[in-house]
Amino acid sequence: MSRRINYLFPALLLVLYGCGNHYMVRDPATDATYYTTDVDRTGESGAVKFKDRATGSVVTIQQSEVRKISEDEYEAAIKRGK
C-alpha cells in the first residue's frame, strides 16, 4: 500500500499544478499588461500584488484591471512575450 502511495503522490501534484488559475493584469495608468498565476489584494485600497511571469518581479498596482484567463491564453501570451 505504501508503495502505491509513493507513485500516486507525484501524479497528484502534477494534476493539481495544472489546475491553477491564470490572470491577465492591466495597469490602466501605463497601459502595461502582466500575466500571473496568483493575485493578492493588499488591504482595502484596492491595490493588487502579484509576481509577473515575464520578469519574475513582484509588482504592486494601485488601480488595475484583473481578468481570469484560460491556460491556453496564458501560454500564448507568454510565448509572444507580452
CA distance 10 to 57: 28
Per-chain mean pLDDT for the chain: 82
- pLDDT greater at residue 49 or residue 7: 49
pLDDT per residue as tens digits for the range 14-41: 444 445 899 999 999 999 999 999 999 8
pTM here is 0.72
Report helix, strand or coil for 10: helix
Q: Which residues contact 13 (CB under 8 A, 6 or more apart)?
A: none
List the domain boundaries for the chain: 21-79
